[in-house]
Amino acid sequence: IRRFPLEDIPQDEKEAANWLHKLYQEKDALQEMYNQEGIFPGQQFKPPRRPWTLLNFLFWATVLLSPLFTFGFGVFASGSPLLILAFLGLVGAASFGVRRLIGVTEIEKGSSYGNQEFKKKE
């Protein structure tokens, strides 16, 4: 990440275009180096692990999922085959619905609007 002071950016439109073009050439060289070596040059930054994210997830999972598990245990403890099948059917339908909603967001199912390769085929 780099910051550029406003004083370093040329005011003239042509000079600013040249400056920006040179900046993109530097970016392309960095990208090419990354593609060849797998890392960017310079000092690598690895953020420290934070346990609070895991603790936050575990807290909310416990708060929200414990009633569901309690209900599920009660359904199976009842011994009623109809109630167990209804519960499993509800869980299966919810799972199918979530998978269907996730499938809608897949990139292959998106619009081809603006895709130049698709326009060339037509």
Contact 16, 9 (CB under 8 A): yes
- In the three-class reduction of DSSP (H, G, I as helix; E, B as strand; rest coil), residue 41 is classed as coil
What are the residue boundaries of the structural domains of the chain, listed by start? 51-105
Q: Which of 32, 40, 35, 46 is nearest to 2 (CA)?
A: 40
- Whether the pTM exceeds 0.95: the reply is no
pLDDT in tens, 79-119: 899 999 999 999 999 999 999 998 888 877 666 666 666 55
pLDDT in tens, 31-60: 998 898 888 887 888 888 889 999 999 999
CA–CA dist 71, 65 (Å, integer): 10
Contact 10, 19 (CB under 8 A): yes
